[in-house]
Amino acid sequence: MIRLLLLLSLFFSLSASTPIRPIEVWIADDLDFLVEFYKERHQTPEISLREEKTAKVLASELRKVGFEVTENFGGYGIVGILKNGKGPTILYRTDMDALPMPEKTGLEYASKETVLLNGNEVGAMHSCGHDLHMTTWLGTARALAANKRQWKGTLLLIGQPAEEIGAGARMMLEAGLYEKFGVPDYGLGLHSSPTIKAGQIGVADGYTMANTEMIDIDVFGVGAHGASPHMSIDPVVISSMIIMELQTIVSRNVKPIDDAVVTVGAVQGGTVGNIIPDQVKLRLTVRTFKEEVRQLIHRRIKEVCNGTAMAAGLPKEKWPQVNIPEKFTPANYNHPELTKRVVKSAEESLGKQNVVYAEPQLVGEDFAMYGSTEDKVPTVLFWLGTVSQEKIDNNDLPGLHSPFYYPEPRESIETGVNVTSSILIDLFND
């Protein structure tokens, strides 16, 4: 018995004195696996609300390294939990969905998947970098699971569906994410950047992405023969006047120091050239940061529509219907204090020269939902650089959602896993 106790004492003494292996060394050894995992995800994309196989793969990989996993949570969402003693709970999210579009990159591992959408067969592609997000997320999960001596707390990993349609985060929250798994102390996410060099990240505090709304306007009129316009009140003409007047909202009603976009992305009406229709539909996207600007734009859209219809001689019952959904994707807000901690950790991990300022953009990201509940969870979403210096020098920078966009896998993945793991470990240990 005494001999056994001495052996156990020696074992634990040696274990405690064994040097902790630098996590970046562990990540470098894992990189070949992660690059292959990335290519598999890139070749097998699944679009929003159809991420069943993707979610199963991610869930299986998390279980292999010791996570407790819940599947089919809020659609095909997955929740992975790794408890490692007393400490904070930190949420780290990846999105999983691809876009319904053909790939034109010419890569040997390019997607050849097709999907049936609205009765038509179209291509499918990870043209927004969600395949890279998933790989970085998994690499970080593997790194932290293998290096549990370096941190204490609970890692809450979210595999989220339907980001591209702005629905997935809301679906998971409405399914009871925080009620079932607890409210995290912090939330972290990243997004591929098509303009920042691989090896770098971009970050800023405050508002970094916009409130995102899709607004429809039904414009009515009186139809007639195309050769008898005097017998009509033409909704095509009314629509064209509304479209032009909408452009004055940002230029003449919104303060120049505030940011906003009003874009009419689709005009749908009529069938043939010799018929004046009795209805036209306009489809808009509106982007803002401030709530007061958002409400101002809503009011002015209605005023422009009503005034134009009245001037055209339409009775009030035929004035346009402005359809503003109650639910929208809120602006992403990077909590200033948490952003400072993220920047400090990233600079120590990557070097100050590789942590750059990323100016706010009027794109949308439903990651913002995780910090927009009544719980007010501090969150940060940063940009992960993905492009080569050669592409930057040649100004060959296809944007996100382009059929030609792709990241530089190896350096992007290594940087993403290194910086995210370092940020998480520092937050766990503060």
The answer, yes or no, to whether residue 147 has pLDDT greater than 90, is yes
pLDDT digits (tens, 9 = 90+) for 12-48: 444 455 566 688 899 999 999 999 999 999 999 999 9
Please give the Cα distance from 78 to 181 (Å, whole number): 12
Q: What number is the average pLDDT over the span 175-191?
A: 98
CB atoms closer than 10 angstroms to residue 418: 22
pLDDT digits (tens, 9 = 90+) for 280-319: 999 999 999 999 999 999 999 999 999 999 999 999 999 9
Q: What number is the average pLDDT over the span 175-180?
A: 98
pLDDT (0 to 100) of residue 430: 86
Residue 279 tokens read as 């209805």
Q: What percentage of the chain carries pLDDT values higher than 70?
A: 95
Please give the Cα distance from 368 to 379 (Å, whole number): 8
Collapsing DSSP to helix, strand or coil, 96 comes out as coil
User: Could you write out the three-class secondary structure of 144-159?
Assistant: HHHCHHHCCEEEEEEE
Secondary-structure breakdown of the chain: helix, strand, coil percentages, each rounded to the nearest 5 = 40, 25, 35
pLDDT (0 to 100) of residue 19: 63
User: Global pTM?
Assistant: 0.92
pLDDT (0 to 100) of residue 232: 98
User: Could you write out the three-class secondary structure of 385-412?
Assistant: EEECHHHHHCCCCCCCCCCCCCCCHHHH
Instruction: Give the list of residues 6+ apart from residue 11 with CB closer than 8 angstroms, or none.
Output: none
Confidence tier at 100 by pLDDT (50, 70, 90): very high
> Which domains does the chain possess?
21-209+331-429 (3.40.630.10), 211-323 (3.30.70.360)
Confidence tier at 134 by pLDDT (50, 70, 90): very high
pLDDT digits (tens, 9 = 90+) for 379-403: 999 999 999 999 999 999 999 999 9
Please give the Cα distance from 282 to 325 (Å, whole number): 15
Q: By C-alpha distance, which of 67, 66, 126 is closest to 96?
A: 126
CB atoms closer than 10 angstroms to residue 247: 13
The answer, yes or no, to whether residue 156 has pLDDT greater than 60, is yes
User: Could you write out the three-class secondary structure of 3-50?
Assistant: HHHHHHHHHHHHHHHCCCCCHHHHHHHHHHHHHHHHHHHHHCCCECCC
Confidence tier at 411 by pLDDT (50, 70, 90): very high
pLDDT (0 to 100) of residue 23: 86
